Amino acid sequence: MASLGKVVLTLADIAAQLGGDVLGDSQTPVSRVAPVATAGEGEITFLANPKFRSQLSACGASAVILRPDVASEFSGPRIVTANPYAYYARVATLLNPYQSGLSGVHASAVVDSPVPGSVVIGPNVYVGKDVVLGENVVINAGCVIGDGASIGAGTLLHANVTVYFGCDIGRRCIIHSGTVIGSDGFGFAPEGLSWIKIPQIGKVVIGDDVEIGANTAIDRGALEDTVIGDGCKLDNQVHVAHNCRIGANTVLAGCVGIAGSTVFGEHCIVGGGSLISGHLNIAAGTTISGGTTVMKSILNPGVYTSVFPLDTHEEWLRNASHIRRLSKLAERVSELEKKLKEKDIEG
């Protein structure tokens, strides 16, 4: 059975792998991470926001991860680093390594391609022909890997992931259950009252260090490839349509939908439930608030929001009614300005 394996590390062990300065007893052992308010013996916590520094006086953790400017406010063992939150994330990974509970290739798997000895393949997995698997790939139960696909070293597929034929997945990726990579894009040509299917002959290319949440769908390209850049993080139930290109280190929260051929620059953040129209360009460094509908390209980075504020139903209807009349009101104002300008000229 897959699980997170518990380990015990000293502060010296952690610093040797992650850097940072250890103050106090470097041989202090820790095996768990915990919040500042509840951390106790054998646990390590962190303080990322200095406004909560008052909690340090009552903190019972064996060790704390701190920024340099508050390092003196905890007398116990501590690790000092510029970014405690990111450091905590790495410590949590060290203390909770993923363990598949499996080894080798399960007897029920059907594997039609060579497999490195370090690869783990679970029950009822299908691996097609001409598939290339890197070292230490883990493919859990029920996954399907289509012909000609490739999966880079150290990548983990949770149960029931489907990777269609010809798609490429990079190194050290994590793909959660129910995700489908490389399904056909939504492409149909109208002919009278009918729709003629357009073959989707591109593929999906996923970079290194990408994480994709559960039940997410990434469509293969119609002619060119759909590309997910290095370091991207996609939440659950995200849909990326055909021919999209998502720039490196972009984050897409749950239920984001992106229509075809839209291109994101690097390091964008898209809040949950946002809808992005097709054939747009989104500038690098753009943040889109949750629930926003984007109908045109964003050429300058910044924070963009189109969510109508929450209100009672009656007030919302009243405000919506006013918004519907704005166009007519703008026309009337324009006419009045024109008349005033004509009077000024005559006077």
Are 276 and 239 within 8 A, CB to CB?
no
- Contact between 117 and 137 (Cβ < 8 Å): no
SS3 content of the chain, % helix, strand, coil (to 5): 20, 25, 55
Pick the closest to residue 209 from 255, 251, 264 (CA basis): 251
| Amino acid, single-letter form, for residue 207 | G
Of the listed 242, 279, 313, 322, which one is catalytic?
Answer: 242
Q: Does the annotation count 242 as an active-site position?
A: yes
Residue 315's CB is within 10 A of a number of other CB atoms, namely 11
Distance from C-alpha of 212 to C-alpha of 240, rounded to nearest angstrom: 11
CA distances from 245 to 76, 97, 220, 303 (A): 48, 31, 11, 20
Residues belonging to the active site: 242
